[in-house]
Amino acid sequence: MSDIAITLNGEPRRVAAGQSIADLVTSLGLKPEKVAVERNREIVPRSTLAAVLLADGDELEIVHFVGGG
């Protein structure tokens, strides 16, 4: 499989083609149910993160929620 170029939180990054957003989030050590993802300036519904495949040139912003106590 080849790599594709994406921008993640303003930083260029290369990832394997065919990955879903959920795969990327998991590879970052985050839990898909605890993040908000914007792809190309559109919010991606959390329920679809596993179904949305990354594409070359995608711009992603990932925000994760941290519990307080």
11 lies in which domain range?
A: 3-62
Angle ∠(45,46,49) on CA atoms, nearest 5: 95
CATH of the domain at 45: 3.10.20.30
Q: What is the pLDDT of residues 38-54, one digit of tens each?
A: 999 999 999 999 999 99
Q: What is the pLDDT of residues 9-45, one digit of tens each?
A: 999 999 999 999 999 999 999 999 999 999 999 999 9
Domain-located, residue 67? no
Buried b (16+ CB within 10 A) or exposed e, 29-48: ebebeebebebeeeebeeee
Q: What is the pTM of this model?
A: 0.90
Q: Where are the beta strands (DSSP E) in 1-69?
A: 3-8, 11-16, 35-39, 42-44, 59-64
Domain-located, residue 69? no
d(CA 15, CA 34): 21
Domain-located, residue 68? no
